Amino acid sequence: MDMPNTENDTLDLYGTRVASRFLIGTARYPSPDHLKRAVIRSGAEVVTVSLRRESSGGEKAGHAFWQLVRDLGVKVLPNTAGCHTAREAIKTAQMAREVFGTPWIKLEVIGDDATLQPDPFGLVEAARELTDQGFEVFPYMTDDLVLADRLLEAGCKVLMPWGAPIGSGRGLNNPYALKLLRAHVPGVPLIVDAGLGAPSHAAAAMELGYDGILLNTAVATAGDPPMMAEAFGKAIEAGRLGFLAGIMEQHDVAHASTPVFGAPFSPFSS
């Protein structure tokens, strides 16, 4: 059986193609050096940045961080982390566009403080207005099919459903729902965002046919963030290859891997 051709298997994000399907966050690292080495070893070409977090560090810290990102040569996906209303998210996105010089925005509108679950109504409202303003919106959402349709109608061309609540490390809480969503919007880039704690979680999502993974906490808080970043990068590649190659069908009973025809043969029989 021929291996799938992955030479041109790139991820299309609003017309920008990237070879890596790993989008990595930049918060909570022990040091800037850990962040730098983690991004390099991950192979990621896109990093997410919170405007609020960088602004809160002061002007000097903000310039140092921005210089680090520039030196890495990666694309920046600003996010509206910490926003609880559509108005707040829209204002943050507008400021992020001025600071980072990109129309990309990872849109977060949080509706529940305990789970950090998105507010679907505020999310659609903000997505529609930001799209009208020329933004290219990456909405952080649940795995709800109707919400997916509404966000696509609002102008989103990429969707980012959660695997589990942000920072929980639980992996894929509802693989069935994620599989349904993948089938529901077959031509839309889907990136699992949030809740993954182990490289195997990322591989499982990619084996479902998802197009990419965005995560932060599992790498940033690991004992060795650069090593964990590399582990996730390889797991994402493995899951993608497995999906393209074709995952075997599951069975309820054993299926012999070696076919047996007729009676056993012994080389010592006469």
Known binding residues are: 167, 194-195, 216-217
Query: Does residue 91 have an active-site annotation?
Result: no
CA separation, residue 186 to residues 148, 158, 180, 183, 210 (Å): 12, 12, 10, 5, 10
Which alpha helices (H) appear in the chain, and where do they start and end?
32-42, 51-56, 59-72, 86-100, 120-132, 145-153, 175-184, 199-207, 217-220, 225-245
Length in residues, the chain: 270
One-letter amino acid of 252: D
Q: Which of 36, 60, 91, 106 is catalytic?
A: 106
| Residue type at 123 in one-letter notation | L
* Residue 178 · residue 161 · CB < 8 Å: yes
Q: Which residue has the tokens 């529609």?
A: 128
- Give the C-alpha separation, 72 to 263, whole Å: 64
Q: Please enumerate, by residue number, every residue annotated as part of a binding site for 1-deoxy-D-xylulose 5-phosphate.
A: 167, 194-195, 216-217
Instruction: Say whether 178 sits in a helix, a strand or coil.
Output: helix
Residues belonging to the active site: 106
